[in-house]
Structure 1
Amino acid sequence: MIQTEVKSLEEALDEAIVMAKTKQAPQLLSISEQIDNVEPIAFFTKADDIKGDRVFWLSSEDEFYLVGAGQAYSIKADSDRFVEMEKQWNKLLSDAIIINPYKLPGTGPIAIGGFAFDPLKEQTALWDHFGGSLFRVPTYLLTVIDGFCYLTINIIVHKEDHAKQLLYTINKNKQHLLNDHFTLPKSPSITAKEEVNPHTWKQLVLKATKEIKDGQANKIVLAREMKVKFEKDVAIAPIVKQLIDTQTNSYIFAIENEQTCFIGATPERLVRVEDQKLLSTCLAGTAPRGKTLEEDIQIGQCLLTDPKNREEHDFVVKMISKAISDYCENINVPSEPIIYPLKNLQHLFTPVKGTLKKGNSIIDIVKQLHPTPALGGLPRGKSLTFIRANEELDRGWYGAPVGWLDAYENGEFAVAIRSALLRGSQGSLFAGCGVVKDSDPEAEYQETTIKFTPMLSVLGGE
């Protein structure tokens, strides 16, 4: 990458045009500035007027926002997707002109998007617009970090472009995006919902327990789908706003593509890397919240001592620790989990920390960790083979890594659970659970029913 001194946007555009003419190839220009405070949901709402799709990311724990409008560049990879995605990203950066005096995580050019759960599973029309992986470099990127706002303009400049024309368009869109006066569209309202083949799904749980008892696997994670219909085409911004307000310990994400939006509020971090410091999260074992404080504490204590949930959690802890061992040093793993409370649910939680060894990247870790035992099972190969052969659902990006990475080797990925795929006036919600040898189909069905709650509640359902 070409890091240059701070200069005006017009000067930077002139430089990029000269570079495009010299190379006889399009040139990525990225220029960042600190701006007055902007409400992220206002920026996201107004981004609907900008050509290209939107992206939204919030790490609620850190109040860290990434909000993207438009598309400067996209990276798609289906074959050898992790390697190919990173190869394309590094190639883009190597030729880029970057003007960013801050170099804070999430400023400058970023790639934000995700991967499919299983690229070997035959894809249905449900996930037509997403593929094996898709990452977007937003044209206009709002980053909120430590309470300060930054705006990055990413633009592909061509040799025949004129700086003043580009500058006019950019300034016009900036003025629109940074104006806090906006009207939030009306929240959606579900008019019908349908659980897809619940009886068949329960029978599949029984089949999975038999597979486990026969020694073919230790754990198999099964997912199911709920279809919903709305009174009219769904506006995404009010759903994002309600997720922010209600799912306070979660990652909130929305990734639009071709008028379809994958949206969710997941509590499960896959991995974060900042200044080579790695943090991964083991989040497996689920129970509802209590109606009173006393009941809540009692349910949490039962979760901590429940053999089925502790076994499920320990699978994840051991797998993550082993997966990062060749890529990290100074690894630290607590000996016991704690309770991680959400609005509707509570989980067993163990953080795993380490230092990324030189020469390794966050994509290396994502490749090693996905899918964790919390979303696939153990052993990984056998559980995935069972899911691929028996599960009716096309998971698409459900249960897969979604997140971002920047030009400075920082990034974060979460596991896309508690999520929905929305298009027009229809949507699909997804939920899953870990099946072990003693699993009861009805209990697993009820667990997945509870896991539908966060998305249902913001979509105007129960």
Structure 2
Amino acid sequence: MIEILEEQLEKIIDEAIPNINSADDTQLISITKPVKNINPLHFFHAASSTGKDRVFWSSTQEDFFIAGIGNTAQLRVEGLPSQEVEKKWRAILDKAIIYNDNKVPGAGIVALGGISFDPKKERTPLWENFNDSEFTVPEFLLTQNNGANYYTVNILVRKGDIAEQVANEIRGMEEILFSDTTLPSTDVAILNRYEVAPEKWKESVELATREIDKGKASKIVLAREIRLKLNKSVNIASVLEKLLHTQPNSYIFAFEKGKDCFVGATPERLVRLDKRKLLSTCLAGTAPRGKNKEEDREISKSLLHDEKNRQEHEFVVQMIKQAISHYCKDINIPEKPVIYPLKNLQHLYTPVTATLLGDYSIFDIIEQLHPTPALGGTPREESLAFIRENELLDRGWYGAPVGWLDSNGSGEFAVAIRSGLIQDDEASLFAGCGVVKNSDPEKEYEETNIKFLPMLSVLGG
């Protein structure tokens, strides 16, 4: 048991139980305290023996990590989140008893999860463990923010519970989570790699260009899948460790549902909210990195002046501006993009800042922004209709918003690209590209091969 909670825990639980009205009712108690330094990955890995689902989120550029264990509460809705998730979230917060003097983003009552790319697309068994919109409030949460660590226990108590017994169960879990542990070796290897219908995918790219020529769309994003067979069951903590080392300018995430885990390293922020200050980013237009500094500079220069990539980027910039204009004030957008470098790729990048108006929430912005032209196309409905009809996979949570929000009014969501669904000793990896008027199917195919690299590299590829 964390010493600073030892004296308080039973008393807090004991005082809450008599106020629960009926046997069907519950009371959420959330207690957050600073703790000594602990590696969030070790905390995450230590829970692998508990049978509880785990979540992980990090933004290494900002020295920010969240590791969550178990499930105290869930927010599930069919379709896109809209106001229904927000209402359920507010209902949880309004009823909860919260002990949190720190008000640090990502600590306290935190819900982590995501939504499916297109709820109207026919579901396949691949994503059967992931709902359209699902957010989890973990039982045990470790947050690392600028080098400081905060630990949260979210307890759900019922009428008739015995405070001492509940506290002892929490102590038992904490002995596991805070035990000294080391991460296992990462020597997973690919036994077989199967590309799902690559020639049919190229044909769909060609079909998309014809639709664009007819004026039915300006851009259509098409994704494809590769399926991997591995030599052993994948240790998720080891994969996350590799991604943290190899993809330093990305959001690293993992959402575990039983034996399935959706993992990725995405560079693309959708929206961040700190109180009422909003930040969104446009990341569209892609090129590889150079083999040396001189070649890298030349590729960057070419990307900045490439008509196809600048057009693709401008689609996203204008969409974001239009999407948030009704919900925000003080919108600020730079006139030109800059280069955003990653290990394997570089992108055109434009930040968008604003102030959120009135009673609007982060879910209002998500609903307006998703899917961006970088993941769907433009116009939105026409491109989505084409994807729904012609794309050869069920995207599930790939290409969709994943992230977190907290009881302090902060939250952040990224677009789940550079990702894969790991299932024991198998995995599906996903990558896509934006098809415009003059797109060449072979070049688009090669672009997706580059985008598979971040996940392939940590799975033995």
TM class by smaller structure: over 0.9
Deviation per CA, 1:66-95: give whole Å up to 9, x if none.
100111111111145332222211111111
Q: Which amino acid aligns with 2:458?
A: V
**Structure 1: how far apart are the matches of 2:225 and 2:88?**
33
Instruction: Give the C-alpha shift of residue 358 in structure 1.
Output: 2.2
Inter-CA distance 7–351: structure 2 relative to 1 (3 Å threshold): farther
Question: Contact (CA 8 Å) 1:113, 1:404: kept in 2 or not?
Answer: yes
* Aligned position for 2:68: 68
- Give distance in 2, aligned partners of 1:395 and 1:442: 22
1:361 and 2:361 aligned: yes
Q: Residues 361 and 23 of structure 1: is their aligned pair in 2 closer, same or farther, counting only changes over 3 Å? A: farther
1-side partners of 2:287 and 2:11: how far apart?
A: 57
Alignment map for 1:69-84 (pairs within 5 Å):
69-79=69-79, 81-84=81-84
Give, in whole Å, the separation in 2 of the partners of 1:7 and 1:374: 52
1:139-288 aligned within 5 A = 139-288=139-288
Match of 2:382 in 1: 382
Q: TM-score, normalised by structure 2?
A: 0.97
Q: Is the 1:32–1:151 contact (alpha carbons within 8 Å) kept by the matching residues of 2? A: yes
**Residues 16 and 28 of structure 1 are in contact (CA less than 8 Å); yes or no, is this contact kept in structure 2?**
no
Deviation at 1:21, TM superposition (A): 4.1
In the other structure, the counterpart of 2:110 is 110
Q: SS of the counterpart of 1:182?
A: coil
Residue 24 of structure 1: how far off its partner (Å): 5.6
Counterpart of 1:406 in structure 2 is 406
**More displaced 10-residue stretch of structure 1: 418-427 or 172-181:** 172-181
Partner of 1:442: 442
Alignment of 1:42-53 (within 5 A): 42-53=42-53
Does the 8 A contact of 1:187 with 1:235 survive in 2?
Answer: no
Partner of 1:307: 307
CA RMSD after TM alignment = 1.4
| TM-score (structure 1 length as normaliser) | 0.97
Whether the 8 Å contact between 1:221 and 1:376 is mirrored in structure 2 is: yes
Aligned to 1:3: none
* Aligned-partner Cα distance in 2 for 1:356–1:13: 37
SS in 1 for 2:61: coil
Q: CA deviation at 1:311?
A: 0.0
User: 1: distance between equivalents of 2:108 and 2:95?
Assistant: 14
SS at match of 1:403: strand
Q: Is the 8 A contact 1:327 1:356 kept in 2?
A: yes
SS of the residue aligned with 2:261? strand
- Specify the SS of the correspondent of 1:222: strand
Q: Identify unmatched segments of 5+ residues in structure 1.
A: 1-5
**What letter matches 1:128 in structure 2?**
E
Query: Partner letter of residue 102 of structure 1?
Result: N
1:75-119 CA distances to partner (integer Å, 9 max, x unpaired)? 111145332222211111111111101111111111100000000
C-alpha distance in 2 between matches for 1:146 and 1:109: 19
Mapped contact 1:68–1:140 kept (Cα < 8 A): yes
8 Å CA contact retained: 2:422, 2:428: yes
Instruction: Give 1:330's aligned residue.
Output: 330
Q: Indicate the residue corresponding to 1:93 in structure 2.
A: 93
| Cα distance, 1:53 vs structure 2 | 0.1
Q: Flag as ranges the 4+ runs of structure 1 deviating above 3 A.
A: 21-24
In 1, distance between residues paired with 2:7 and 2:274? 27
Is 2:46–2:181's contact at 8 Å kept on the other side of the alignment?
Answer: no
- Alignment of 1:28 with 2:28, yes or no, is yes
Q: CA deviation at 1:258?
A: 1.9
Please list the CA deviations of residues 336-376 of structure 1 after superposition, one character each: whole Å capped at 9, or x if unmatched: 00000000000000000001112111111011100000000
In the alignment, residue 455 of structure 2 is paired with which amino acid? M
2:23–2:160: 8 Å Cα contact kept in structure 1?
no
Q: Share of identical aligned residues, percent?
A: 54
Q: Name the counterpart of 1:37.
A: 37
Q: Is the 8 A contact 1:362 1:409 kept in 2?
A: no
- Letter matched to residue 71 of structure 2: Q
Paired with 2:450 and 2:24, the residues of 1 have a C-alpha distance of: 56
Mean Cα deviation higher: 265-274 or 91-100: 91-100
CA contact (8 A) 1:38 1:180 kept: no
CA contact (8 A) 2:244 2:252 kept: yes
| Distance in 2 of aligned mates of 1:216 and 1:15 | 63
Secondary structure of the 1:33 match is strand
Counterpart of 1:450 in structure 2: which amino acid? I
Q: Which residue of 2 is the match for residue 425 of structure 1?
A: 425
> Quick check: 2:80–2:115 contact (8 Å CA) kept in 1?
no
Q: Greater shift after overlay, 18-27 or 387-396? A: 18-27
Give 1:438 shift. 0.5
Which residue pairs with 2:3 in the alignment?
none
**Residues 118 and 15 of structure 1, relative CA distance in 2, 3 Å threshold:** same
Q: Whole-Å Cα distance in 1 between the matches of residues 32 and 439 of structure 2?
A: 52
Equivalent AA in structure 2 for residue 164 of structure 1: E
Q: Paired residue for 1:127?
A: 127
Partner of 1:297: 297
Residue type matched to 1:188 in 2? V
SS at 2:41 equivalent: helix
Q: Which sections of structure 2, spanning at least 5 residues, go unmatched?
A: 1-5
In structure 2, do the counterparts of structure 1 residues 113 and 187 end up closer, same or farther at CA, with 3 Å as the change threshold?
Answer: farther
Taking the aligned partners of 2:213 and 2:165, their CA distance within structure 1 comes to 68
Q: Distance in 2 between matches of 1:273 and 1:420?
A: 26
Question: Is 58-67 or 184-193 further displaced after alignment?
Answer: 184-193
Distance in 2 (alpha carbons) for counterparts of 1:181 and 1:241: 14
Cα distance in structure 2, aligned partners of 1:197 and 1:22: 56
Aligned residue identity for 2:164 = K
- Conserved? CA contact 2:303–2:348, under 8 Å: yes
